[in-house]
Structure 1
């Protein structure tokens, strides 16, 4: 198979995986009183403060749609805006204690489901690391 065709098939599979995963995430989020959109933003910010545009890039979404979710999370006390030393007009969004608690609960609620999916798929942590490495290389090349 030619590399370009393999790339097209990989991207199609990534989109399909994202769609199926999003539907599963919506059900899990609802059981915790959240939405998948809120969960995704909380998750992206869980490893450190990010600007809205940076969170949007990570999620592959338009900044305007992420801004609406961020505004909701700020209003509910899950996120807070902090000064950004690199850009005065684009604050960093950071988890509050309530936000950390919510994302930890969501991760805990999803752990059994995700472990079951991985077991049924017969996928190992090493295989996931290799797949992620390939995806990160492609993301880097597309951004350059």
Structure 2
């Protein structure tokens, strides 16, 4: 029987492996609509409301500079808009535009069938995913 620390290390390795595989399939799906996985990720992290670039970067686990570059590209392409941030004049909030929402909706709809097939092959239920997410959220909270 493995200790909690050993199980944690194996869990993190599995999360990284899953994230890498998911990124590769996301890249293929995004390319079909003229996007990249990086752009998809930034659009997705802003789907529940405006955020600053640093806040989006924290959520994605990336450096703010890399998210700033992608966000800048998305503003230029009309997918995002920068709006005034009442809490920080020098750090605007990034918000999805109608084009950004439409693109994100297209990306999600293209990926839903693919993800559903993966979940079916794995025999994973919504309840199991909810438990896994709760464990990951608790670990994330403890690390913060």
Task: Give TM class, smaller chain.
Answer: over 0.9
Aligned residue number for residue 26 of structure 2: 25
- TM-align CA RMSD: 0.6
Partners in 2 of 1:54 and 1:128 — Cα distance?
A: 25
Cα deviation per residue 1:13-36 (whole Å; 9 max; x = unaligned)? 000000000000000000111000
* Structure 1 stretches of at least 4 aligned residues deviating more than 4 Å after TM superposition: none
CA deviation after TM superposition for structure 1 residue 127, in Å = 0.5
Q: How many residues align?
A: 143
Aligned residue number for residue 35 of structure 2: 34
| Equivalent position SS for 1:93 | strand
Aligned residue number for residue 143 of structure 2: 142
CA deviation after TM superposition for structure 1 residue 70, in Å = 0.2
Partners in 1 of 2:51 and 2:127 — Cα distance?
A: 28
TM-score norm. by structure 1 comes to 0.98
TM-score norm. by structure 2 comes to 0.98
Aligned residue number for residue 16 of structure 1: 17
Alignment gaps of 5+ in structure 1: none
Aligned residue number for residue 125 of structure 1: 126
Partners in 1 of 2:88 and 2:122 — Cα distance?
A: 44
Aligned residue number for residue 74 of structure 2: 73
Partners in 1 of 2:9 and 2:44 — Cα distance?
A: 28
CA deviation after TM superposition for structure 1 residue 81, in Å = 0.6
| Equivalent position SS for 2:89 | coil
Aligned residue number for residue 51 of structure 1: 52
Alignment gaps of 5+ in structure 2: none
Partners in 1 of 2:92 and 2:140 — Cα distance?
A: 25
